[in-house]
Chain A
């Protein structure tokens, strides 16, 4: 299937290993990604604190570009971008008068959003469009013996009414299903649906670090070999800030955190370099060894 692809800013900067891993996996599983190279930042929830109309206009701009390309679905690999886009799209499609107002803001650039775009995340598309059976068939390196803790991140879970959860109530279990389809064992733990703490790291780092320590230590207690997340911002916090969280908690944690495409790619036969598994702050060596990745 063909998608308008919005990788998000962080997949090419803060977590530079994500973009190549995601595009390699997409290519392998038959997702045809056409990148929206003139799209703008979705605002990540921050711009909305200043001006909601600005965020709605910026996202409508991206949607209009996808429509211009003749594509009806935007796929992203960033949960936060997905959350902001879904929420703006929900609002614009519900309120035609407001959409008309937003389109006035886009006129100068010759753009108009007609309201036809659907937003999805790679995690959703893997389950809903590729299918778990097909994914399992593609596995050449089953991740047997690995216990993986899912970590969803807020924007792909809440608020449910903008995220299509009525139509797909089991979207809250996709990570577990993908983990199982790849041959690994999903771990159940309290932290999987909670917040990683990233949005408050510049304001109240102590609280953010406590969240990191709580989730990673809980996953460790439950015997997880690694955490997996569909959100690059959660990755930034859980991986990059884990050493600080560990020293604050006074315990060693060493819990590797994988991007979802890296986990999928590891089962589909990609090697360590292709998946960027050596580029994390917390070593993935143990995961790599058990998974038997070259």
Chain B
């Protein structure tokens, strides 16, 4: 199978800067993007730099951008890509991390963020005589997050990290869930307080990029939402905007069946701050005659919706 690879090249010792080079490769029917790159390195240009090891989607070394999306090069089949995305396969280094050379990035920032969430169990109380016992059900909840192979694909595609490098990011926060939700851990409250801080779980914009990018179905964004639920359930920061936003949303839908935008703004920002925070927007809206209904209307069957909330204890 013939394939055209368009590879982003960068050599810090050359004056040329970042640029693209095209290579033609001939691969077996089920050849992966990684095999294509190794073929280029072995037969066409020995200076091509990339990271790889297991070639079986286990080690997490070969994450890179393939046609703009971060994936493991060993798991990305050239034939699939050609069929659905077109003939040219564009390969670039991961995003959000500085490029060292060609497809190799500096992952220091990735590891620093993982370290920040304290990725180790912190049990309290006396040590049990034998091993710590955890039920199957409780372990199953953690299993999804434990599948992470630290490849960096989620961090590479994170839209918040694109604008703010201080965000803890999807990989570290998925790992944070893995420890905060572990029944053997004794530091849950301190963890939730720390993950609730600015740069933590509330900075995620729920864009699903990490869910799409993760090759191991960890769905980091969903794990971030799991931590948010734990923060709310444990009443870690009842006055925090994140929690107030959720509560304001719940109140509106519970009592009227619909989203109450005015009520939500009032409850999220608090009275009378909301009026100041939104003043310029309000004035522009008045000038454009673009006012939403001032009096929020309920749907006729709102009491049935309320009953659903009550029955589920919300």
B198, B290, B314: which contacts A281 (Cβ < 8 A)? B290
Contact with A along B274-307 (1 / 0, CB 8 A): 0000001100110011111100000111001101
Query: Is there contact, CB below 8 Å, between B300 and A38?
Result: yes
B257-A41 in contact (CB<8A): yes
Q: Please name all residues of chain B whose beta carbon is closer than 8 Å to the beta carbon of A28 when the two chains form the complex.
A: none
Check A240–B281 contact: CB distance below 8 A: yes
Could you say which residues of chain A place their CB within 8 Å of the CB of B299? 37-40
Number of interface residues of A (CB under 8 A): 61
Contact check: which of B228, B292, B314 meets A13 at CB < 8 Å?
B292
Task: Provide the residues of chain A in CB contact with B304, threshold 8 Å.
Answer: 61, 108-109
CA gap between A53 and B293 in the complex, in Å? 30
B253-290 residues at the A interface, CB under 8 angstroms: 253, 257-259, 261, 268-269, 280-281, 284-285, 288-290
Segment with Cβ contacts to B, from A200-208, A223-231, A256-264? A200-208
CB–CB A58/B212 < 8 A: no
The answer on a CB contact under 8 Å between B205 and A50 is no
A residues contacting B by CB (< 8 A) are: 9-10, 12-14, 16-17, 37-41, 43-51, 53-54, 57-58, 61, 105-106, 108-109, 154-155, 157-160, 169, 193-195, 197-200, 202-204, 206-208, 210-211, 214, 240-241, 243-244, 278-281
Nearest residue in B to A211 (C-beta to C-beta)?
A: B163
Give the size of the chain B interface in residues (CB under 8 angstroms). Answer: 59
Contact status A195-B207, CB under 8 Å? yes
Q: Is B229 an interface residue (CB 8 A)?
A: yes
Contacting pair A47 B249 (CB below 8 A): yes
Q: Check B308–A49 contact: CB distance below 8 A.
A: no
Q: Given known contacts A16-B290, A54-B309, A278-B288, is B205 in contact with A244 (CB within 8 Å)? A: no
Check B27 for interface membership: any CB of A closer than 8 A.
Answer: no
A49:B159 contact, CB within 8 angstroms = no
Per a CB cutoff under 8 Å, which of B204, B207, B258 touches A9?
B258
Contact across chains for B225 and A48 when beta carbons are under 8 A apart? yes
Residues A49 and B232 in contact, CB atoms below 8 Å apart: yes
**Residues on the B chain within 8 Å of A211, using CB:** 159, 163, 205
Bitwise interface map of B from 195 to 232 toward A, beta carbon under 8 Å scored 1, else 0 = 00010001111111101100000010000010011001
Instruction: List, in ascending order, chain A residues with CB within 8 A of B184's CB.
Output: none
Tell me if B314 and A51 are in contact (CB < 8 A).
Answer: yes
Distance between B270 CB and nearest chain A CB, rounded to angstroms: 11
Complex alpha-carbon distance, A31 and B177, angstroms: 45
Contacts of B284 in A (CB 8 A): 240, 243, 281
Contacts of B56 in A (CB 8 A): none
Q: Please, how many angstroms separate the alpha-carbon atoms of A52 and B92 in the complex?
A: 37
Q: Identify which of A16, A109, A160, A195 contacts B159 (C-beta below 8 A).
A: A195
Q: Which residues of B contact A207 (CB under 8 A)?
A: 160, 163-164, 167, 203, 205
A48 to B312, CA, bound (A): 13
